[in-house]
Amino acid sequence: MLIRHRPDLTDNDVTDRGLYLRRREFITGVAGLGLAGLGGMAGAAPLAFTKGFSTTEKPTPKDDVTSYNNFYEFGVDKGDPAENAGKLKTRPWTVRVDGACEAPKTFDIDALIKANKLEERIYRLRCVEGWSMVIPWVGFPLKDLIAAVKPTSKAKFVAFETLMRPSEMTGQRWDVLQWPYREGLRIDEAVHPLTLIAVGLYGETLPNQNGAPLRLVVPWKYGFKSIKSITRISLTDRQPPTAWNLSAPREYGFYSNVNPAVDHPRWSQATERRIGEFRRRDTLAFNGYGEWVADMYRGMDLKKFY
């Protein structure tokens, strides 16, 4: 599968909240059509994309990104997803987008990929467990998908669900979480230009262990908000229940913005281990994306709304 798009990303795609003001830290601009080479892992197909809003930090090696994973549907150890997710059948695949909108629709994954302009976004990912990576995603803004179903004024939150299929997702046979895995965002977070639906990484379609065929990426929140292998997205007027909050409400809040000043009840969040590095580094507020997202939380007590 080879997907081509014109490289017509403009600054408008990333300027909604004045993102252009701080370009020095980022590679932005239109850097031509990115097209990764053939090869790589079995089943991976190259994607065509433009370059989007990205950190200039060095990406974590692909081998680490695809072998050190959290995806409890395939087991709770870091190596389990790479070992077990090959069983997951990612075609055919549909995503139902419904709820508080005028034009609910079931999207076929290949049609969805074709209909959206793909861009590469190199983002930091900070897991609540205290490790981090830098990952070159390929995807499109979630706001484009939400716009396509014409949300009504009742759309105050967005709820996401992962596939439920214990025959392939063997971890779903155990009650480590309430399945299916669920996540949620406030509508302003969901339509923020940094919020991505990823369909690839390192220039190719997503490996199953990273959430094929499509997953959410919210770079200023702890990694568990970035739900994998999505089959349903619903617009709603109420804050939706989320898998980790249901499982341990004192430890995992709905917001889960990366915050070095608010510790997890069982460990500090002040520092993190960047996979591949030896010394721990300081964790940044909002994972370093504060100047683009902090406004959304103005006036909120972030100790209370953790």
Ligand X SMILES: Nc1nc2c(c(=O)[nH]1)N[C@H]1C(S)=C(S)[C@@H](COP(=O)(O)O)O[C@H]1N2
Q: Which residues bind ligand X (CB under 6 A)?
A: 69-73, 125, 127, 162, 181, 210-211, 223-224, 226-229
Identify the residue among 49, 220, 224, 306 touching Mo ion (CB under 5 A): 224
Residue 28 or residue 205: which is nearer to ligand X going by CB?
205
- Say which DSSP state 131 is in: E
Q: x/- binding map, residues 146-175, to Mo ion, per CB under 5 A?
A: ------------------------------
Residue closest to 43 by CA, chosen among 233, 252, 268, 200: 200
Instruction: Tell me whether residue 193 or residue 207 sits nearer to Mo ion (CB atom).
Output: 207
**φ, ψ (nearest 5 deg) of residue 50:** -100, 170
Of 193 and 223, which CB lies nearer to Mo ion in the complex structure? 223
Instruction: With contacts defined by CB under 5 A, name the span among 65-73, 94-102, 192-200, 290-298 that binds Mo ion.
Output: 65-73
Cis peptide, bond prior to residue 141, ω within 30 of zero: no
| Residue number with CB closer to Mo ion (127 or 201) | 127
Cβ distance to ligand X smaller for residue 226 or 269: 226
Alpha-carbon span 79 to 40, nearest angstrom = 19
The burial class, CB within 10 Å (0-12 / 13-18 / 19+), for 1 is: exposed
- Residue 206 CA from chain centroid, whole number: 12
Place of tokens 């695809």: 66
Tell me: does residue 81 bind Mo ion (CB under 5 A).
no
Nearest CA to 17 out of 291, 302, 217, 300 is that of 291
By a kind-dependent CB cut-off of 5 to 8 A, residue 195 interacts, out of ligand X, Mo ion, none, with: none
For ligand X, the nearest residue by Cβ is 223
Binding site residues, Mo ion, CB under 5 A? 70, 127, 223-224
